[in-house]
């Protein structure tokens, strides 16, 4: 009974695959083959593969028992077990061939399904690109804002307005009370200032390198006498007082 059921399922699956790959003449041959039954077909093929795997496992168990009998017996019993093992091996090979066929069918169905899915995605992408192309052409024809000459003119107008704005800011930033100054006059004053600085520098060098704010040499500290703790051999000179102008005060007797 199980063999008849498996054979019926195998024939039914083969018929479904044949109808999917070669539709009848009464239908539109240009339309893609229907794929709504693909998951069901794959499920049935998987179920049939599992049943075949169970049959192969059962054959392996029977072969193991035949080997045990062959190892324990001799003579007619050994030959009987050997013939039974050959029959089981033939049955196992038949099941293995069926499993390979079903696996190939599963692979073909999955490849066809993936191919059709990819083709449908490609058609959808092409349709979207075609629609976008039409919309872009329509916008370029009807929209004046997308014309290159209008965009260039707009850029030129914006640059002109920016220049006008900068000129307005320059006018608003003018100082009305500033007197007019001649550049030549400024250059003459600058040259005179440089000459004055050079003359002052030469005078300082003639005096002995004394700066304007430096203390005169005659007001600097004099050497201290040997007994005053300075530790030198110089002559002791009394420190003179100076008036408000830096000159020594004359002592009156």
For the chain, the domain total comes to: 1
pLDDT digits (tens, 9 = 90+) for 40-92: 888 888 888 899 999 999 999 999 988 888 888 888 888 888 888 899 999 99
Task: Confirm if 109 and 42 have CB atoms less than 8 A apart.
Answer: yes
Task: Confirm if 50 and 42 have CB atoms less than 8 A apart.
Answer: no
Residue 16's pLDDT is what? Answer: 57
Q: How high does pLDDT run on average in the chain?
A: 75
Residue 67 covered by a domain:
yes
57: domain range? Answer: 2-23+33-128
- % of the chain exceeding 90 in pLDDT: 23
pLDDT of 29 strictly over 60: no
Residue 233 covered by a domain:
no
Residue 218 covered by a domain:
no
* DSSP character at residue 26: T
Residue 219 covered by a domain:
no
Residue 102 covered by a domain:
yes
248 phi, psi to nearest 5 deg: -70, 145
Task: Confirm if 88 and 66 have CB atoms less than 8 A apart.
Answer: yes
Residue 180 covered by a domain:
no
* DSSP character at residue 36: T
pLDDT of 24 strictly over 50: no
* DSSP character at residue 218: G
Q: What is the pTM of this model?
A: 0.40
Residue 52 covered by a domain:
yes
Residue 245 covered by a domain:
no
pLDDT digits (tens, 9 = 90+) for 171-225: 887 776 666 667 788 788 888 888 888 888 766 665 555 444 555 555 555 555 5
Q: How many residues does the chain have?
A: 253
Backbone CA torsion sign across 203, 209, 215, 216:
negative
């Amino acid at each position: 009974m199980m063999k008849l059921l498996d054979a019926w399922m195998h024939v039914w699956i083969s018929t479904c695959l044949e109808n999917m790959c070669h539709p009848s003449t009464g239908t539109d041959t240009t339309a893609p083959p229907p794929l709504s039954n693909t998951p069901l077909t794959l499920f049935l093929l998987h179920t049939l593969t599992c049943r075949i795997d169970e049959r192969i496992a059962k054959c392996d168990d029977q072969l193991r028992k035949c080997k045990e009998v062959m190892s324990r017996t001799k003579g007619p019993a050994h030959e009987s077990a050997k013939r039974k093992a050959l029959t089981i091996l033939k049955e196992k090979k038949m099941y293995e061939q069926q499993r390979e066929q079903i696996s190939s069918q599963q692979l073909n169905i999955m490849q066809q399904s993936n191919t059709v899915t990819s083709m449908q995605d490609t058609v959808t992408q092409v349709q979207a690109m075609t629609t976008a192309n039409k919309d872009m052409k329509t916008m370029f024809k009807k929209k004046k804002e997308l014309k290159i000459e209008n965009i260039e003119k707009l850029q030129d107008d914006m640059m002109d307005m920016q220049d006008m704005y900068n000129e307005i800011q320059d006018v608003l930033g003018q100082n009305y009370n500033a007197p007019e100054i001649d550049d030549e006059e400024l250059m003459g004053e600058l040259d005179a200032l440089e000459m004055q600085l050079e003359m002052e520098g030469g005078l300082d060098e003639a005096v002995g390198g004394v700066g304007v704010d430096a203390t005169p040499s005659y007001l600097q500290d004099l050497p201290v006498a040997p007994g005053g703790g300075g530790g030198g051999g110089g002559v002791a000179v009394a420190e003179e007082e100076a008036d408000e102008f830096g000159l020594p005060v004359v002592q009156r007797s």
